[in-house]
Amino acid sequence: MAIYYQEENRIFQLHTKRSTYLIGMTPEGYVGHIYYGERLFQRADHYLLRMGEIPFTPSVNKREKLSFLDSFPMEYPTGGIGDFRESCLNVKNEKGQMGSELFYVSHRIYEGKEKLADLPASFGNGEEVQTLEIVLEDGILNLQAVLSYSVFEKEDVIARSVRIVNRGKETLRLEKVFSACLDMDNEAFEMINLCGSWARERHIQRGAVRYGKQAVSSLRGESGHQEHPFMALVTPGTDQQQGKVYAMHFVYSGNFLAQVEMNQFDSVRMVMGINPEQFDWVLSPGEDFQAPEVILTYSGEGLGRMSRNFHDFYRSHMIRSIYNHKKRPILINNWEATYFKFDHEKLLEIAREAKKCGIEMLVMDDGWFGKRNTDDNSLGDWVVNEEKLKGGLKKLVDQVNEIGLEFGIWFEPEMVSPDSDLYRAHPDWALQIDKREGTMGRNQYVLDLSRADVVDYVYESVAKILRSANIRYVKWDMNRFLTDLGSARLDAAHHGELFHRYVLGVYELQERLVREFPELLLENCASGGGRFDPGMLYYSPQIWCSDDTDAIERLMIQEGTGLIYPLAAMGAHVSDCPNHIVGRITPFETRGYVALAGTFGYELDITKLPDEQREMICEQTKMYHKYNDLVREGDYYRIASYRENHKFDAWAVASKDKREVLMTYVQVLAEPNKRSRKIYLQGFDKEALYLLEGTKQVYSGEMLMYAGFLIEPMEGDFVSRPYHFVKKESDDR
Ligand code: DGJ
């Protein structure tokens, strides 16, 4: 049993393998946070709620209720009554007065986990997860908040969410509904988050938590390239192997806010949820509002354990695709090879050459529909351009299949070009504000996916194409942010719902797609990695990491992404040189080793490559087959970070049984007059011996981890090498 309720002192104990979370109550029924951290085994106590200290609880000292509310560690704080820290719930009554107060009413503990209505969320059966629901109530508003905690023991994860129910007769307005809150005493915390930009997504950032508020957020209608719906608080000195880590990750693909706040009493409040800016939800009598889920994990063994918790959790309890535990076909995508300039023959040429090197799928990217030869037209007109693809799509797909490759296709379903038949027929289907010229992004507008008729049209136009030929893969792109938040369908009272309704529309589309085409390999993408979030993982087992395919830029992008996401979720390809984004020239081998740490594929014109590079592709595709099971299913260890040391990068993947470890080392910049470099490996069985493949050298796991491993000097910048260690069975020692 992961969840216990101690009746006599009204404490909920939530236990995972290595962590414990304690929730307590005051005599009045305020629900407070007692503890989160190392696994506890004895009877729990609630002295950490400080109920005996001034200002006492309101039933003992009503005079100082305000001071109580201003300092009590709330499990789900509300705004307007006296807690001046960031609240999780702001509700307005019919008169426009904002304020609510929540008290314990009841709870329920059950095996398994129920679905969240219309939202992506983690899942598990009765043996994998147990759920606690605590019902809190505001008796004045007749409003309930149902706090849900699903405890995944094995992965050290608690999935939290909240449902708000209007049980009264008044129409209420929700101006803020966060999904999780963690009130803790400060431990000189530092905050870790992921920041960046287009082509520079998810770089790791770390800094001290200071008095006041520090936040990361998005208001772009997607999770965004710039900031990521993730936040971790760590104790000083935390590294890959030691230190306390409290991490939250949001299962949502729209506007978010993640914030830490340190207050006058040195307590720290960490919150996460839908960004309250431009959010205003009308909750009529009898209705409820489901807030998305936050994935919470604690690691007492540094960031490495946190990463492995998230990786295991997402692989077991978030990704539904049948490809989750399967090798994905090695694909070649024509975007960087041809951009818009391709036709039937060119694609077949690529396919023929790709087949010779062991590539297994051709993906036709942007430019196959309408009259699209540039980015200023045709989005929305999902009709094959027969001038480019003579004889139609089916003919092309059949011919590619005959060559021996599978076929994949690109869509950007959420968008419309002003120069399109769709826009000419339905200008009101685009998001727009009355009388205002829409703000263009990449020459396009965003469709109003809060409308059921638009969702139906978009779905049918994509599904029709997929039904028309043997298409095994879809790259679902989204190349601009949301602006001009006006819908022709929503009335004034409901316009504050538009951002969230849009996200629900995207989820509905993708849900329909994976239901009708369960064998389709779906890869989400948003102008590179602009919508890389756990919400998308629920629909697609992989997400395009970044438009920056340069191997060295990818070191930082993939380090940040791998901090939370399993490697097999990261779309990564070998591309051409000089790199199209940064102009850097890197060895073909290094591009291969870096892409092997993701889904692996190619994004170049193979027909123009010199023979020796084609031969390298043959080697790389063999290597993919050799290592992909390990990379996809194994435990990830970050060994060294180029971002931190500015010289080299290294990571390793160990099989769960520690029978093999693959470590990849990249020397980013060569240094003169240096000896071999000692690095400390991780992931080995310390009592076992390992053979370094390709040599006769045998190492003990303990020496590799504690005494170190020597990297022989390498010549040149951007050079790299994989090291594959295989455990020696005791009888061949
Ligand atoms: C942005 C994506 O990230 C690229 O890979 C490519 O598909 C282009 N869009 C096509 O427009």
Predicted local distance difference test score (pLDDT) of residue 729: 84
Ligand 1: residue whose CA is nearest its atom 2: 527
Ligand 1: residue whose CA is nearest its atom 10: 366
**The three-state (H, E, C) secondary structure of 636-694, written as one string:** EEEEECHHHHCCEEEEEEECCCCCEEEEEEEECCCCCCCCCEEECCCCCCCCCEEEECC
Q: Beta strand pairing status for 281-283 and 689-692?
A: unpaired
Of 604, 581, 553, the C-alpha closest to 336 is 604
Angle at 7 between CA 2 and CA 9, to 5 degrees: 105
- The CA 475 to ligand 1 mean position distance, Å, reads 9
d(CA 146, CA 141): 15
pLDDT in tens, 412-453: 999 999 999 999 999 999 999 999 999 999 999 999 999 999
709: alpha, beta or left? (left if phi > 0; alpha if psi -120 to 50): beta
Residue keyed to tokens 């818009």: 340
Ligand 1: residue whose CA is nearest its atom 1: 527
Compute mean pLDDT per 10 residues along the chain, 733 residues long, and list them. 94 98 97 98 95 89 94 97 97 98 98 98 98 98 98 98 98 98 98 98 98 98 98 98 98 98 97 98 98 98 98 98 98 98 98 98 98 98 98 98 98 98 98 96 98 98 98 98 97 97 98 98 98 98 98 98 98 98 98 98 98 98 98 98 98 98 98 95 98 98 98 96 94 54
Asked if 424 and 373 count as a contact pair (C-beta separation under 8 A), the reply is no
Where in 390-507 does DSSP place strands (E)? Answer: 406-411, 415-416, 445-446, 473-476
- The CA 493 to ligand 1 mean position distance, Å, reads 37
On whether the pTM is more than 0.85, the answer is: yes
Predicted local distance difference test score (pLDDT) of residue 1: 78
Element (H, E) at 149: strand 143-152
Q: Beta strand pairing status for 157-166 and 288-290?
A: antiparallel
Where in 238-343 does DSSP place strands (E)? Answer: 245-251, 256-262, 267-274, 281-283, 288-290, 293-299, 331-333
d(CA 475, CA 32): 45
Element (H, E) at 363: strand 361-364
Coil, strand or helix at 235: coil
- Side-chain half-sphere CA neighbours of 163 within 13 A: 18
DSSP-derived secondary structure letter, 188: S
Residue keyed to tokens 């969230």: 500
Asked if 432 and 486 count as a contact pair (C-beta separation under 8 A), the reply is yes
d(CA 464, CA 588): 39
Of 564, 535, 546, 401, the C-alpha closest to 472 is 401
Q: Beta strand pairing status for 230-234 and 293-299?
A: unpaired
Predicted local distance difference test score (pLDDT) of residue 55: 84
Asked if 50 and 44 count as a contact pair (C-beta separation under 8 A), the reply is no
Atom of ligand 1 nearest to the CA of 365: 7
Atom of ligand 1 nearest to the CA of 410: 7
Q: Catalytic positions, please? A: 477, 547
- The CA 325 to ligand 1 mean position distance, Å, reads 26
Ligand 1: residue whose CA is nearest its atom 11: 366
d(CA 259, CA 250): 12
Residues within 6 Å of ligand 1 by CB? 335, 365-366, 410, 477, 479, 525, 527-528, 544, 547
Asked if 256 and 223 count as a contact pair (C-beta separation under 8 A), the reply is yes
Q: Beta strand pairing status for 172-185 and 190-195?
A: unpaired
Asked if 113 and 150 count as a contact pair (C-beta separation under 8 A), the reply is yes
Of 594, 489, 512, the C-alpha closest to 550 is 594
pLDDT in tens, 35-71: 999 999 999 999 999 998 888 899 999 999 999 999 9
Predicted local distance difference test score (pLDDT) of residue 731: 53
pLDDT in tens, 268-325: 999 999 999 999 999 999 999 999 999 999 999 999 999 999 999 999 999 999 999 9
Angle at 506 between CA 181 and CA 179, to 5 degrees: 5
- The CA 525 to ligand 1 mean position distance, Å, reads 8
Of 530, 402, 512, the C-alpha closest to 460 is 512
Check the CA dihedral 382-386-392-397 and report its sign.
negative
